[in-house]
RNA sequence: GGUCCGGUAGCUCAGUUGGAUAGAGCAUCAGCCUUCUAAGCUGAGGGUCAUGCGUUCGAGUCGCAUCCGGAUCACCA
């Protein structure tokens, strides 16, 4: 890549001139700001001190050396204060097109043998997916594709939280008040159907608590003593004992939820290579506790409970086994981490989980490290901020959530409305139109959630619908459709190299940006940050639109220019398509 | 209280291991469709980068302190 070549040239130039060795940390290479002449800039200040030279003298000596050493790569340099601006030859940029006639895999890394697992989505089976889950699903899917793009083998997994006290709540509510209703009998999607009973439970439970408080009981106590809570705990106990009625109820209601999830996952494009169920894995990790006790990582208190002391690491004491011998959340996670490692022989394990669990993930990694597990150092938490409403946090118990299905449907509806108003695809069949509106609506939604730095929390205002103009998915999709429209009408002659001299500013700018694609993939992968990809694709599309308004492709000044611009357009379209695919967003040929 | 994260234009967000005059989109205003798709392009206005001190050739970026917002510190998951 060009930045690497410049770096090499700087290092060897310095070596020749001053017989000193430097590292890449000692200077910076940036894209030259548009108000100056040049393509890339070497910032010299970091070198000045140890060479005992003025930035001016150093810049001229180094610039001249670099140009004379690499006459085919650099055509000129200029120096402003401590900034050495280099002009890269037009031939270099145009050769980019010649060496990438097969644009479909452009920018992607060669297979590197890395095996990476990405756990994401991880729903509870007591309620439908909401906006927060969408951010999780889009991030998980996207980072998986970006990691694949960087050359890794990726395994997508999901841990379904299908058991526990919260699951029993909706089960109990259905048992009490369901009157045998089913998703089929009511026509309600299965996950919503079950979620409604979860909400119902909490309503009734609240009433009971209030009644007890009114009779003089303390709230904390009332929450424990409410008959519904007691009944739920009893149900959980029966489930753990394998009570046939309870297990049957559990299986039936979970199957309703799964059929609902399937529809949603299919719509939003989430899928998994392996699904783990908590009902199968919640007993994992017990041997790890035994092992930890043996080698002194854990210690047992007089009541029989088992702990790990993390105070030396700035954390607290953490329980890993209750006094009654049952395991806690973190214990399962230790066991599951081990299972993933042994089943898939993975080099890295990435967890897409909200930032409310930052502490938990820190503890998990630390415990695995202390237990001497070989995979411990390769656990990474892709932590993301909560999606909140202007009114504050979403609470599923109170039903104040933006439902995933509703939101997706709404986005598609708006996409259809825009599309019909513009009337550009009136010849589409109904099926084609449906597919297009799905693409645009979901594209808008996914881009909206992915363009923001994952670790930042974001506020979503349902009153202001997600935009289709500007820094959005549809803007990029539209740019792609425009390019395809040109390419449909013209053909490209791949038999010869496009002419290389006299690149116009915008032609060169596009090539410079296209050249960066490979670096962007690596950077997004290394930092587990799809927003960098989103910003890059947007910038590229924006540059293309400026170019499009300024210069004609079909009616270029000469055949050579036309050929060159067709090739640039094709590569731009491919990079947009490929980059958007890594965000889980499709791009249409027409819209 | 301890730990962690955040605070940049009216709003939503960028800002690479410190680099040139802090950038986009939305919204507002003014232009651009007889020529490849106007979901587009061009221009204008809009900033005490939360606050203060420090580090140095140079700080939105690093350090310390303070203010504001959030998360977390369960024998819950």
CA A304 to C1' B53, in angstroms, rounded, equals 53
The reply to whether the CB atom of residue A569 sits less than 7 A from any atom in nucleic acid chain B is no
The domains located in chain A, with CATH, are 2-88 (3.30.1360.70), 115-286+326-398 (3.40.50.620), 287-325 (no CATH), 404-582 (1.10.730.10)
Q: What is the pLDDT of residue A399?
A: 62
CA A424 to C1' B5, in angstroms, rounded, equals 46
Which nucleotide's C1' atom has the smallest distance to the CA of A362? B4
Q: What is the pLDDT of residue A101?
A: 63
Q: What is the pLDDT of residue A104?
A: 73
The reply to whether the CB atom of residue A183 sits less than 7 A from any atom in nucleic acid chain B is no
In this complex, the residue with its CA at the shortest distance from the C1' of nucleotide B6 is: A456
Helix (H) or strand (E) holding A246: helix A244-268
Coil/strand/helix, residue A101? coil
The reply to whether the CB atom of residue A25 sits less than 7 A from any atom in nucleic acid chain B is yes
In this complex, the residue with its CA at the shortest distance from the C1' of nucleotide B71 is: A356
Nucleic chain B contacts, protein chain A, residues 60-79, CB cut-off 7 A: none
The reply to whether the CB atom of residue A33 sits less than 7 A from any atom in nucleic acid chain B is yes
Nucleic chain B contacts, protein chain A, residues 277-296, CB cut-off 7 A: 278, 282
pLDDT tens-place string over residues A173-211: 999 999 999 999 999 999 999 999 999 999 999 999 999
Does residue A547 carry a pLDDT above 70?
yes
In this complex, the residue with its CA at the shortest distance from the C1' of nucleotide B14 is: A535
Average pLDDT, chain A: 92
pLDDT tens-place string over residues A376-399: 999 999 999 988 877 777 776 666
pLDDT tens-place string over residues A434-462: 999 999 999 999 999 999 999 888 888 77
DSSP conformational letter for A385 = P
Which nucleotide's C1' atom has the smallest distance to the CA of A425? B37
Q: Are A520 and A575 in contact (CB under 8 A)?
A: no
The reply to whether the CB atom of residue A572 sits less than 7 A from any atom in nucleic acid chain B is no
Q: What is the pLDDT of residue A397?
A: 66
pLDDT, average across residues A341-357:
94
CA A45 to C1' B17, in angstroms, rounded, equals 15
Give A22 or A450, the one with higher predicted confidence: A450
As a whole number of angstroms, the distance between CA A395 and CA A416 comes to 31
The reply to whether the CB atom of residue A549 sits less than 7 A from any atom in nucleic acid chain B is yes
Find all residues with CB under 8 Å of A458, minimum gap 6, and list them. Answer: A135, A385, A387, A388, A449, A452
pLDDT, average across residues A345-355:
94
The reply to whether the CB atom of residue A548 sits less than 7 A from any atom in nucleic acid chain B is yes
Nucleic chain B contacts, protein chain A, residues 108-147, CB cut-off 7 A: none
CA A317 to C1' B49, in angstroms, rounded, equals 40
ipTM: 0.96
The reply to whether the CB atom of residue A328 sits less than 7 A from any atom in nucleic acid chain B is yes
Which nucleotide's C1' atom has the smallest distance to the CA of A307? B75
pLDDT tens-place string over residues A127-177: 999 999 999 999 999 999 999 999 999 999 999 999 999 999 999 999 999
Find all residues with CB under 8 Å of A573, minimum gap 6, and list them. Answer: A480, A483, A484, A487
The reply to whether the CB atom of residue A314 sits less than 7 A from any atom in nucleic acid chain B is yes
| Strand B contact nucleotides, protein CB < 7 Å | 2-6, 12-17, 19-21, 24-27, 35-42, 57-58, 70-77
Q: What is the pLDDT of residue A224?
A: 86
Which nucleotide's C1' atom has the smallest distance to the CA of A519? B16
pLDDT tens-place string over residues A77-122: 999 888 999 999 999 999 888 876 676 789 999 999 999 999 999 9
The reply to whether the CB atom of residue A531 sits less than 7 A from any atom in nucleic acid chain B is yes
Q: What is the pLDDT of residue A499?
A: 76
User: 10 Å Cβ neighbour count for A369?
Assistant: 15
Supply φ then ψ for residue A379, to 5 degrees.
-90, 125
Which nucleotide's C1' atom has the smallest distance to the CA of A47? B57
CA A560 to C1' B49, in angstroms, rounded, equals 47
Burial A162-182 (b: 16+ CB within 10 A, else e): bbbebbbbbbbbbbeebeeee
Q: Which of these ranges, A141-155, A365-379, A477-491, A495-509, has the smallest mean pLDDT?
A: A495-509
CA A346 to C1' B45, in angstroms, rounded, equals 55
Decide the pairing of beta strands A299-300 and A306-309.
antiparallel
Which nucleotide's C1' atom has the smallest distance to the CA of A549? B41
The reply to whether the CB atom of residue A267 sits less than 7 A from any atom in nucleic acid chain B is no
Sign of the dihedral defined by the CA atoms of residues A499, A505, A506, A510, in that order = positive
The reply to whether the CB atom of residue A192 sits less than 7 A from any atom in nucleic acid chain B is no
Q: What is the pLDDT of residue A395?
A: 72
CA A24 to C1' B61, in angstroms, rounded, equals 19
Find all residues with CB under 8 Å of A485, minimum gap 6, and list them. Answer: A589, A590
Nucleic chain B contacts, protein chain A, residues 227-256, CB cut-off 7 A: none
Q: What is the pLDDT of residue A396?
A: 67
The reply to whether the CB atom of residue A52 sits less than 7 A from any atom in nucleic acid chain B is no
The reply to whether the CB atom of residue A545 sits less than 7 A from any atom in nucleic acid chain B is yes
As a whole number of angstroms, the distance between CA A164 and CA A127 comes to 13
Q: Which long-range contacts (CB under 8 A, 24 or more apart) does A251-255 make?
A: A253/A125, A253/A170, A253/A171, A253/A174, A253/A194, A254/A125, A254/A162, A254/A167, A255/A190
DSSP conformational letter for A38 = S
Q: Are A119 and A141 in contact (CB under 8 A)?
A: no
CA A518 to C1' B20, in angstroms, rounded, equals 27
The reply to whether the CB atom of residue A30 sits less than 7 A from any atom in nucleic acid chain B is yes
CA A520 to C1' B28, in angstroms, rounded, equals 35
CA A501 to C1' B30, in angstroms, rounded, equals 38
pLDDT, average across residues A321-349:
92
Nucleic chain B contacts, protein chain A, residues 400-419, CB cut-off 7 A: 415, 418-419
Q: Identify each DSSP E strand in A223-290 by its residue range.
A: 274-277
Q: With bands split at pLDDT 50, 70 and 90, how would you rate the model's confidence at A327?
A: confident
Which nucleotide's C1' atom has the smallest distance to the CA of A322? B75
């Amino acid at each position: 890549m060009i930045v690497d070549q410049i770096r090499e040239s700087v290092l060897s130039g310095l070596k020749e001139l001053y017989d000193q060795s430097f590292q890449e940390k000692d200077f910076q290479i940036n894209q030259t700001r548009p108000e100056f002449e040049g393509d890339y800039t070497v910032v010299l200040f970091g070198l000045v001190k140890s060479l005992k030279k003025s930035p001016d003298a150093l810049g001229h000596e180094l610039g001249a050396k670099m140009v004379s050493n690499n006459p085919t790569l650099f055509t000129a340099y200029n120096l402003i204060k401590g900034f050495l601006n280099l002009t890269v030859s037009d031939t270099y940029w145009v050769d980019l097109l010649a060496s990438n006639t097969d644009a479909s895999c452009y920018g992607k890394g060669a297979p590197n043998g890395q095996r990476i697992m990405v756990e994401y989505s991880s729903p509870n089976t007591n309620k439908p997916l909401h906006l927060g889950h969408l951010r999780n699903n889009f991030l998980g899917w996207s980072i998986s594709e970006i990691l694949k793009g960087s050359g890794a083998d990726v395994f997508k997994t999901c841990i379904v939280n299908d058991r526990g006290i919260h699951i029993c709540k909706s089960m109990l509510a259905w048992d009490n008040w369901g009157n045998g209703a089913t998703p089929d009998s009511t026509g309600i999607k299965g996950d919503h159907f079950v979620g409604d009973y979860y909400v119902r439970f909490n309503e009734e439970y609240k009433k009971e608590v209030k009644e007890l408080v009114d009779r003089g009981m303390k709230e904390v106590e009332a929450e424990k003593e409410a008959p519904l809570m007691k009944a739920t705990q009893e149900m959980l106990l029966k489930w753990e004992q394998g009570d046939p009625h309870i297990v049957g109820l559990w299986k039936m209601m979970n199957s309703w939820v799964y059929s609902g999830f399937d529809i949603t996952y299919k719509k939003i494009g989430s899928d998994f290579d392996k699904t783990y169920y908590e009902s199968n894995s919640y007993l994992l990790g017990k041997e790890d506790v035994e092992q930890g006790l043996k080698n002194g990582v854990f210690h047992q208190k007089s009541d029989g409970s088992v702990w790990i002391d993390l105070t030396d690491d700035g954390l607290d004491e953490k329980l890993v086994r209750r006094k009654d011998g049952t395991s806690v959340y973190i214990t399962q996670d230790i066991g599951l981490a081990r299972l993933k490692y042994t089943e898939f022989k993975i080099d890295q394990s990435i967890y897409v989980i909200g930032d409310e669990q930052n502490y938990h993930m820190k503890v998990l990694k630390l415990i695995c490290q202390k237990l001497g597990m070989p995979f411990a150092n390769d656990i990474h938490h892709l932590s993301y901020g909560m999606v909140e409403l202007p009114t504050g946090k979403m609470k599923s118990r109170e039903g104040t959530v933006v439902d995933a299905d509703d939101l997706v449907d709404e986005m598609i509806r708006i996409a259809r409305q825009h599309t019909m108003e513009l009337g550009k695809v009136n010849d589409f069949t109904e099926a084609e139109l449906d597919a297009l509106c799905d693409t645009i609506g979901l594209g808008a939604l996914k881009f909206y959630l992915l363009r923001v730095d994952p670790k930042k929390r974001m506020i979503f205002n349902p009153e202001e619908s997600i935009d289709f103009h500007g820094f959005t998915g549809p803007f990029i999709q539209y740019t792609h459709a425009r390019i395809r429209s040109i390419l449909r009408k013209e053909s490209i002659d791949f038999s010869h190299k496009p002419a290389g001299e006299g690149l116009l500013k915008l032609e060169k700018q596009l090539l410079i940006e296209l050249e960066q694609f490979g670096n962007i993939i690596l950077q997004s992968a290394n930092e587990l940050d799809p927003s960098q990809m989103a910003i890059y694709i947007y910038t590229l599309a924006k540059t293309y639109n400026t170019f499009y308004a300024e210069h004609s492709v079909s009616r270029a000044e000469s055949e050579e220019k036309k050929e060159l611009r067709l090739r640039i357009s094709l590569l731009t379209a491919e990079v947009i398509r490929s980059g958007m695919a890594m965000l889980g967003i499709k791009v249409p040929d027409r819209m």
